[in-house]
Chains A and B, each alone.
Chain A
Amino acid sequence: MKTRTRLGPGWAWVVLMVSGLMLAAPARAATEKYFDRSGRLVVVEKSAPELLRPYEMKKPVSEKTFPVAAPPFSEGIFPCSDCHADMTPNLKRRELVDEHTNIVLHHAEGQRWCLDCHNPDDRDKLRLVSGELIPFTESYRLCGQCHGDKFRDWKVGIHGKRTGFWNGDKEYLLCAHCHNPHDPSFKPLAPMPPPDRPGRASH
């Protein structure tokens, strides 16, 4: 530590230049590094195809596009335009009696109804407060309008579940995969069996 401070700013320049050069270099050195069984570092030169997917330290999450599983539609319900294309939208707030009667809104129902989120003119889209129309595969943006803290955590993989590879491609679940958008509280589950008590195992 001491020697480094004594070397002064000249060294910092050299380090900066060198690291800048390294960053500017177009191709990464194709090496794979790992520890052998006795803990020594092993560096193996590998050709690019051999090094299929190297571990990337910097992998910022791109805004807006998240790889998500298909939205959890009920059987045969989508696309909505199959039925709604020829219908004139009734913009009056009311209780539905002819269709969709299984949907009971239990999600701040005093403050909203269907057409706050569903777009009346093109039913295959959802509508943000801004008026922007989004597909169902981006419904997290709709939820994120109110639940900003959850959206922020979801983007980095803290809220909700991501599957795939910890050092590779990940797949997100939409909010609607775990939370019914019309009744979003997570429903209780039956637990798996408890462990055997000591001495009770069959032998």
Chain B
Amino acid sequence: MSDKKPCDQNVYRLTRRKALKGLAMGVGALALPASNASASVWESFFQQHFRELSKEQLQRVLARMEKEYSSSYGQPVTVKATPPIEGVKFGYGLDLSRCIGCRRCVYGCVSENNQSRDPQVQWIRVVRLNKEKGVDLDYAEHYYNPAQVPEPGHFYMPVQCQQCEKAPCTKVCPVQATWTENDGIVVVDYNWCIGCRYCMAACPYGARHFNWKKATVPKEELNPNTHYLGNRPRPVGVVEKCTFCIQRTREQPGRYPACAEACPVGARKFGNLLDPNSEIRYLIENKRVFILKEDLNTQPKFFYFYAT
């Protein structure tokens, strides 16, 4: 004889299953940005991978970003998604016999590419090396701060993203938020990046940087000419890197990258590796050239050379 009472169908009975279900839904709803439910938050939350966006979707995404950035920075901001040009593969040359280590390139890059001022993010790192030791990174120092450069007995080597043909960083990304474009530029979709920083661990050049906070750029210093894959204002928790100034160089005609424009000694060269008349091809064919950490077979498109 069972002492179980017959179930009353009209009374709501809270079972363990129902309680857990309700709890899960409640927590899930809290996690979604419902309280400040502007359409743009929802849209960015459910936005697809950059390379899977249709033309119309991309236009909507760009328009949404332009609106968002323009209102938060108080000036009209354009966000482009200019595609690579056919027959172009970008290459960069840096003349180590000319570089004086003045760091003008670092700050030219910071202001062109809207890097965070605080906490500080800099895509270019200039290392001071010992002339007697040559390019031996055991003797590298990047906090040097004398009254004047160059210092006797030293030479300087700026290091930034080498835009590797076989980029180790893109291979390790678990969500394919970073990839190599057809013109050779390695890019990041900041809206797809989950911030795991595997790519930073994989990069042998220390060229990737993490946004520990939302990038702080003073309103009056923002560069309003931005590219989706390049210098648009970065959210918190994503990785960023040099893009050869994608917002400039993909245009026709395209300006030189900001670092090359900032260099007072003209040590920085930029051009199309597929054009036999470009300056980058000339220097590769006529000057002494080396690539950094060649033994890792990353095949950089960044060439250090000696013009003398």
**A residues whose Cβ falls under 8 Å from a Cβ of B:** 33-39, 41-42, 52-55, 57-60, 153, 156-169, 173, 178, 186, 188-197, 201-203
Residue of B nearest to A60 (CB): B277
A96 to B100, CA, bound (A): 34
Residues on B with beta carbons closer than 8 Å to the beta carbon of A203 = 119
Q: List 10 A-B contacts (CB under 8 A).
A: A33-B87, A34-B86, A59-B277, A153-B307, A157-B279, A162-B279, A164-B256, A166-B256, A188-B148, A202-B118
| Residues B119 and A191 in contact, CB atoms below 8 Å apart | no
Contacts known (A162-B266, A194-B143, A202-B118); A36 close to B83, Cβ less than 8 A: yes
CB of A192 within 8 A of CB of B279, answer no
- Do A158 and B269 contact each other (CB < 8 Å), given the known contacts A37-B53, A167-B252? yes
Q: Which are the 10 A-B pairs with shortest beta-carbon distances?
A: A168-B253, A161-B266, A33-B86, A165-B253, A192-B103, A188-B148, A35-B182, A157-B279, A34-B83, A37-B51
Residue of A58, A166, A173, A192 with most chain B CB atoms under a 10 A cut-off: A166
Contact between chains at A188 and B120 (CB < 8 Å): no
B177 CB to closest chain A CB (Å) equals: 14
B254 within 8 A of A: yes
In the bound complex, residues from chain B placing their C-beta under 8 Å from that of A54 are 252
**What is the CA–CA distance of A199 and B254 in the complex, to the nearest angstrom?**
38
Are A53 and B252 touching (Cβ within 8 A)? Answer: yes
- Asked whether A191 lies within 8 Å of B255 as measured between CB atoms, the reply is no
The answer to whether A37 touches B83 (Cβ under 8 A) is yes
Return the chain B residue nearest A201 by Cβ. B119
Residues of chain A within 8 A of B106, CB atoms compared: 192, 195
With A157-B279, A159-B266, A196-B120 as known contacts, state yes or no: A165 contacts B254, CB within 8 Å: yes
A194 near B144: Cβ-Cβ < 8 Å:
yes
- Asked if B102 lies at the interface with its beta carbon under 8 angstroms from chain A, I say yes
Inside 8 A of B53's CB, which chain A residues have their CB? Answer: 37
B50: nearest chain-A partner, CB-CB: A37
Contacts of B100 in A (CB 8 A): 186, 188-189
Residues of B contacting A35 with CB < 8 Å? 83-84, 86, 181-183
Do residues A186 and B265 form an inter-chain contact, with CB atoms below 8 A? yes
Q: CB distance B270 to A189 under 8 Å? A: no
Residue of A nearest to B104 (CB): A192
Determine whether B263 belongs to the interface, using a CB cutoff of 8 Å to chain A: yes
Q: Contact between B261 and A55 (Cβ–Cβ < 8 Å)?
A: no
Majority SS at the chain B contact face: loop
Interface residue tally for chain B (C-beta within 8 Å): 62
Residues of A with C-beta under 8 A to B142: 194-195
User: Pick the contact of B145 from A39, A55, A193 — CB < 8 Å?
Assistant: A193
B263-290 interface (Cβ within 8 A of A): 263-266, 269-272, 275-279, 282-283, 286-287
Q: Complex Cα distance A54/B251, Å?
A: 11
B67 within 8 A of partner (CB): no
Q: How far is the CB of A89 from chain B (nearest CB, A)?
A: 36
Chain A residue contacts of B81, Cβ below 8 A: 37
**Residues in chain A near residue B101, CB distance under 8 A:** 191
Contact of A55 among B87, B255, B256 (CB under 8 A): B87
Q: B102 and A189: CB pair below 8 A?
A: yes
Chain A residues near B144: list those with CB within 8 A.
191, 194
Contact call A192/B277, Cβ cutoff below 8 A: no
Closest-by-CB residue of A relative to B256 is A166
**Is residue B146 contacting chain A, with contact meaning CB distance below 8 A?**
yes
Cross-interface CB contact of B263 among A42, A161, A201, cutoff 8 Å: A161
Interface residues of B in 33-84 (CB under 8 A from A): 50-53, 58, 81, 83-84
Q: Which residues of B contact A167 (CB under 8 A)?
A: 88, 252-254, 272
A163 and B256 within 8 A (CB): yes
Is B247 interfacial (CB 8 A cutoff)?
no
**Interface presence of B243 (CB below 8 A):** no
Q: Bound state CA distance, A192 and B143, in angstroms? A: 11
Given contacts A188-B149, A189-B100, A191-B149, contact A173 B266 (CB under 8 A): yes
Chain A residue nearest to B181 (CB atoms) is A35
For A53, the chain B residues whose CB sits under 8 A away are 252-253
State A54–B253 Cα separation when bound (angstroms).
8
Q: Does B226 contact A (CB under 8 A)?
A: no
**Are B254 and A191 in touch, CB under 8 angstroms?**
no
Hey, which chain B residues are within 8 Å of A153, CB to CB?
307
Given the known interface contacts A160-B266, A188-B148, the answer about A195 and B83 at a Cβ–Cβ threshold of 8 Å is no
Count chain A CB atoms within 10 A of each CB in B118, B266, B271, B287 and give the residue with the most.
B266
